[in-house]
Amino acid sequence: MSVASGYRACVIGLGSMGMGAALSCVKAGIATSGIDLDAGRRDAFAAAGAEAVADSVAGLSGAFDAVIVLVVNAAQARAVILGEAGIASRVAPGGAIMVSCTQSAEDAKALGRDLEAMGILMLDAPVSGGAAKAAAGEMTVMASGSAAAFDKLAPVLDAVASKTYNIGPEIGQGATVKVIHQLLAGVHIAVGAEAMALAARAGIPLETMYDVVTNAAGNSWMFENRMKHVVEGDYTPTSAVDIFVKDLGLVTETGRSLKFPLPLASAAFAMFQEASNMGHGGEDDSAVIKTFSGIELPKKEG
């Protein structure tokens, strides 16, 4: 879609997903600024055509029609939006903030109420797809909010997503869909690790086991993506163990709030907690396989 003259966007958080979203906005012809604490990320985005970059909103000028917040959790999102020198003070009249962290429905609702009181539109819009999809402008967005928020953010959504799901008008619905999605993602990683650990214990070469599963009915996107890291012995994080400690914690909290049992999610949560407790919290989430003792795992070559 065409972008209105003068339409300005700002992406807060230039990590693997945020950088992809920011670059996709630039490619779509949107004047886009970026905020990140990491100088290397700021420099990379500046070189790729950013309107401006800074380590805080104080380093940017003017007001923004659209803001995308791609930070880790609800506390960070609230801080960068409503904290001292938060981005809320720089949203143009009629502008909207797309909040794309993984958070509880209650946190999303509370943020939405505070922004509404300030006259700022909010889209509760978690994302999925990983760094590659983000870089290609093909993220999946699961969003809830008013029709006005969807309309204001339409150029951004068109730039960053191949699929945008309008879950409904109520803030918190998008967050809930993301939490349920993370239930599946976390359990898939955990059960994939369990299967590969069993193969290792049985003496099956893990590259063979991986090849069989990825060409058979037991495959999943998470198995194919994450268990490749196990086969290669490379636990360089794209999404860390501690991310799933957080996300599966949100899953179990959601289950408790709804008085709904989640036995598989609870087991996966315990596995990720154990992996973190063992010192693997900063490693790739596939490192959850290291909770299994008595097996030998591949080592990274070189």
Q: What residues act catalytically?
A: 178
CA pair distance 110, 178, nearest whole angstrom: 17
Residue 227 CB-density burial (10 A; 0-12 exposed, 13-18 middle, 19+ buried): buried
Q: For residue 62, what are its two tokens?
A: 């003017």
SS (H, E, C) the chain: CCCCCCCEEEEECCCHHHHHHHHHHHHCCCEEEEECCCHHHHHHHHHCCCCEEECCHHHCCCCEEEEEECCCCHHHHHHHHHCCCCHHHHEEEEEEEEECCCCCHHHHHHHHHHHHHCCCEEEECCEECHHHHHHCCCEEEEEECCHHHHHHCHHHHHHHEEEEEEEECCCCHHHHHHHHHHHHHHHHHHHHHHHHHHHHHHCCCHHHHHHHHHCCCCCCHHHHHHHHHHHHCCCCCCCEHHHHHHHHHHHHHHHHHCCCCCHHHHHHHHHHHHHHHHHHCCCEHHHHHHHCCCCCCCCCCC
**CB-based contacts of 57: which residues, under 8 Å, 6+ apart?**
10, 35, 85, 86, 87, 89, 90
Give dist(CA 228, CA 71) in Å, integer: 26
- Which pair of tokens denotes residue 52? 């401006």
